[in-house]
Amino acid sequence: MKHEETIISGFGGQGALFAGQLLAYSGMAEAMHVTWIPSYGPEMRGGTANCTVIVSDEEIGAPIIRYPTCAVVLNLPSMQKYEPLVKPGGVLIVNESLVDIQSARDDIRVITLPASDIATALGNPRMANLVALGALAQATGLVALETVAAQLEAHLSERQRKWLEPNKAALQKGAELAR
């Protein structure tokens, strides 16, 4: 059975909501049930923005996540808030470029990667979300990386099309680091 309850969180503008949308679209493309709930408001002004995504091969009873099986944290406030909530046996993806603390938990799989630094090296620091999403897809096997890349191509806005190939490279780099 495939069933992951994921929280993706970061500063407004880091693309946490878009990464969640891509995860949800990827689940749908693979004929799974999905929910995606964004949380934004004052976050759009630089506070913490997050979304919850459930991807399952069974019907989803409720879209609310209290204790996620996976968390992607792109900044320090997100790490402090969500790291303690990940269920034992879960996965935590940490952007060590902006998170200077280590998880003390030994009951979850923690993958730290310099997502922001990698994104900057690829040409745009705003691609850190895709580095982390690539790592999540690789670590969980929930959706295929090729499916995420296809959904990125299908849902990237026209004004962002010039970033399609670098975004795909960011996905690949994140997956490589999670192996």
Spans of all domains in the chain: 3-178
Confidence of residue 1 (pLDDT cuts 50, 70, 90): confident
Q: How confident is the model at residue 85 (pLDDT cuts 50, 70, 90)?
A: very high
The mean per-residue pLDDT over the stretch 76-97 comes to 97
Give the percent of the chain with pLDDT over 90. 91
> 7 and 51 in contact (C-beta within 8 Å)?
yes
40 has pLDDT over 80: no
Confidence check: pLDDT of 46 > 70: no
Q: Given pLDDT bands bounded at 50, 70 and 90, which one contains residue 48?
A: confident
Cβ atoms of 132 and 82 closer than 8 Å: no
Residue 127 banded pLDDT, cuts 50, 70, 90: very high
- The CA distance from 175 to 159, in Å, is 26
Q: What is the CA 27 to chain-centroid distance, rounded?
A: 13
CB proximity list for 178: less than 8 A, separation 6 or greater: 93, 111, 113, 134, 135, 136, 138, 139
User: How many Cβ atoms are within 10 Å of 18's Cβ, its own excluded?
Assistant: 21
- Rounded to an integer, the average pLDDT of 79-103 is 97
Provide the pLDDT for residue 13. Answer: 87
Assess whether pLDDT exceeds 60 at residue 43. Answer: no
pLDDT-derived band at 12, boundaries 50, 70, 90: confident
DSSP state of 162: G
pLDDT (mean) for 36-63: 85
Looking at residue 95, its pLDDT comes to: 98
Q: What CATH number is given for 3-178 in this structure?
A: 3.40.920.10
- For 130-158, give the DSSP string: HHHHHHHHHHH-SS-HHHHHHHHHHHS-G
Q: Is 121 exposed, middle or buried (0-12, 13-18, 19+ CB in 10 A)?
A: middle
> Is the pLDDT confidence value at 41 over 70?
no
pTM of the model: 0.94
Per the CB < 8 A criterion, the answer to whether 107 and 69 are in contact is no
pLDDT of residue 45: 58
Residue 9 and residue 34: Cα distance in Å, rounded? 18
